[in-house]
Amino acid sequence: MRRTCLISLLFIGQFIAPSLGAQDTAMHTATTSPEIPVPANVNTTSWMKDSAAKLQHELTGKYGEGQMPRLTRGLRQVEEFWRPEDGGAGEFEDFVRTNFAGDQATLDTMFNRFERLLEQLDGHMHEISREFRQQMDLDLGPVLPFDEVFGGYDPSAHVLDDFFRNKLAFTILLNFPLTTLDERLKDGPAWSRRQWAEVRLAQRFSKRLPAEVSLAIAQAEAESGQYIAEYNIWMYHLLDAQGQRLFPPNMRLLSHWNLRDEIKSEYADARNGLAKQRMIQLVLERIVTQTIPQAVINNPGVDWNPYSNEVKPAAAKDSDAAVPVSGLTNAREPDTRYAMLRKTFVASREADAYSPTEPTLIARRFDEDREIPEARVKAMLEQVVTSPLVAQTAKLIQARLGRPLEPFDIWYNGFRPGSSYSEAQLDGLVEKRYPTAAAYQEDIPNLLARLGFSPERARYLANHIAVDPARGAGHAMAAQMRAEKAHLRTRIDKNGMDYKGFNIAVHEMGHNVEEVFSLNEVDHTLLQGVPNTAFTEALAFVFQGHDLELLGLPAPDARSEAEKTLNDFWGTYEIAGVALLDMAVWHWMYDHPQATAHELNQATVEIAKDIWNRYYAPVFHQKDIVLLAVYSHMISSFLYLPDYPIGHLIAFQIEEQMKKAGAIGPEFERIAKMGRVTPDLWMESATGHPVGAEALLDATGQALAELNAPR
């Protein structure tokens, strides 16, 4: 799995998929609807019931009554996925007779062999992908058109289909248990490691999507993604009430990321910053409510006053990309944003009938991907947004800004750790030390020793990590089998590595160390990894937070730490509301499956206002603000947004545990080799507590005390 980490945009990437090449992108509780296709197994049940009863009698006689519960479960699981093209009664009965492991020795052999062979499959598939992406990922000269085709090819795309076709998937379903999240949470703590590995083995085959359903999901994802990727605002063409252009020529900002980040950077402009921030807020609101004129989207050929909503042909030219609009009007964007969101919903819902243990997208997202029940996630997020620490932090921000808060201050970015070194000083230090990727590779044992790993462990880790020169900013790539190394891709310029590159390399090295332990030191490769992306990010941040010490410089002081904590807390407060909105909108869609794009627009706006009025208006003293609904992920990412705030909470829990433990090395190894059990079980073993908001809130309380203390 390739992991790119943007420091400002945490926890992007995908959850570690529990299934082989699963196509299903995302998902909640079943709501009946005329658009849901009939599951394939309905056609086969007429003979299947009789066959199953016959087999149950026959095989219990053969293997003993003790095998009855396993057999009953196995037959039910096979029935759920069997389709007419898999065969008739004769083939079904032969398959079960041949493949039911009726004694422990056969079952053990089957388990061990599948574990070994699936590791080989995953490992080699990944090896092919890594090689095929090499030219695109590494700094190795020009990328030719065919390199991109190699890079986009996924050799494992059809493995799941193949395994159902050759019936290896049915062998698993006949012998190992499918589980619900409820069972994993309730019974999981008492399971042996082998039982956990069996559960993960079966989960790989818990869904069987027909090709047309996978295709519909992929198409909705591509179409909405394309819509988002081309949604630019040309800033030079925004006019204020006096007809003035506040932004420079050629500034093209992608919604929502660039527009939000422009609000952040305008805090530095003492003269015009506030006017620009207010104008961007208005643009964002018009995108959400779809009162934005269609003609101004991605078009430098039109001047637009977002206050009056007037449009006219551009009076000044800054780009050849201008598209002439005949009969120019300010006709609004016709709910396209919500039509795109609705498409992702309609496509996702088609998968519901083929996913018996998680029959909605909401259930698949929370129960399958995150493995934290939605109700608990909601409670944790509400704990953050209703915390009294929000008002205290807001007061500090207000004092620093010297004015009352405005709604766009949810993106306040003034909490910054002070540094006694300039970026240039740090660049000089790093360049000298790491002129090449090989120089960094050679220094890994030394860096790890500084983080508290024993010389033996540091050498062992260094031997399992290969450093390559990256084309982009850098990323970590885990191995999928024990014979392979993890890869650390890092940016090396002509003069060598710069400080930013070093900071990222240390973060990626944290991923690599987690990856090496969680693959090579875990007791079952079926449990390889961590519960989800948030966990590996949290572990990578532990490394990254010590980057100055790795350069032999003093660690950040208490005030710097406090600034960083408040920055994270304010960011979590903001993104928690966005996540609550994403969740509520998906529920609304499942409750109103026939709603039009326009109705979805109105509902989203109402839900956004409601969440704002409950958790933000008390601090910002303005009501009915819709800004929380501007995130592009909401339109094209299938209920992904809750990952961000959950990630922040997990990061604080792990950081606190590392502080308690003192030396990072041994503690990092202990927790990284627990493998992919549920997040709560993992966190209980790591810290003694389930996943929760307390660590973040405690740290925030201390940070406020530190910053409010007289200097």
Nearer to Zn ion, 357 or 544 (CB): 544
Contact flag: residue 5 with Zn ion (CB under 5 A): yes
CB of 416 to Zn ion, least distance (A): 21
Nearer to Zn ion, 468 or 537 (CB): 537
CB of 658 to Zn ion, least distance (A): 16
Tokens 């909105």 identify what position? 581
Binding to Zn ion (CB under 5 A) within 538-577 occurs at 540
Cβ contact 651:534 at 8 Å: yes
Distances in Å between the alpha carbon of 481 and those of 82, 108, 123, 659? 31, 21, 4, 32
Contact flag: residue 506 with Zn ion (CB under 5 A): no
Nearer to Zn ion, 512 or 525 (CB): 512
Size of the site for Zn ion (CB under 5 A): 3
DSSP secondary-structure letter at 38? Answer: P
Phi, psi of 486, rounded to the nearest 5 degrees = -75, 150
The number of residues making up the chain comes to 711
Q: Which of 609, 594, 601 is nearest to 634 (CA)?
A: 601
Please spell the DSSP secondary structure of 597-636, one letter per residue: HHHHHHHHHHHHHHHHHHHTHHHH------GGGG-THHHH
Nearer to Zn ion, 380 or 540 (CB): 540
CB of 540 to Zn ion, least distance (A): 4
Is the C-alpha dihedral spanning 565, 567, 571, 574 positive or negative? positive
Nearer to Zn ion, 479 or 626 (CB): 479
Q: Which stretch binds Zn ion (CB under 5 A): 3-11, 42-50, 518-526, 605-613?
A: 3-11
Q: Which stretch binds Zn ion (CB under 5 A): 214-222, 269-277, 531-539, 689-697?
A: 531-539
Nearer to Zn ion, 6 or 391 (CB): 6
CB of 650 to Zn ion, least distance (A): 13
Looking at the DSSP bridge assignments, the partners of residue 321 are: none
CB of 130 to Zn ion, least distance (A): 18
Nearer to Zn ion, 431 or 537 (CB): 537
Report the alpha-carbon distance of residue 513 to residue 227 in Å, rounded. Answer: 38
Report the alpha-carbon distance of residue 379 to residue 476 in Å, rounded. Answer: 33
Nearer to Zn ion, 5 or 361 (CB): 5
User: Using alpha carbons only, what angle is made at residue 385 by residues 614 and 413, rounded to the nearest 5 degrees?
Assistant: 110
Mention every residue, 6+ apart, whose C-beta is less than 8 A from residue 583: 362, 374, 377, 378, 639, 642
CB of 6 to Zn ion, least distance (A): 8
Tokens 């964007």 identify what position? 333
Contact flag: residue 650 with Zn ion (CB under 5 A): no
CB of 702 to Zn ion, least distance (A): 26
Nearer to Zn ion, 473 or 617 (CB): 473
Q: Which stretch binds Zn ion (CB under 5 A): 107-115, 267-275, 389-397, 533-541?
A: 533-541
CB of 478 to Zn ion, least distance (A): 12
CB of 510 to Zn ion, least distance (A): 8
Residue whose beta carbon is closest to Zn ion: 5
DSSP secondary-structure letter at 142? Answer: P
Per-residue mark of binding to Zn ion, 55-84 (x: CB under 5 A): ------------------------------
Starting at the edge strand found earlier in the chain, the sheet holding 486-490 runs: 2-4, 474-477, 486-490, 465-469
In the complex, the residues that contact Zn ion under the rule CB under 5 A are: 5, 537, 540
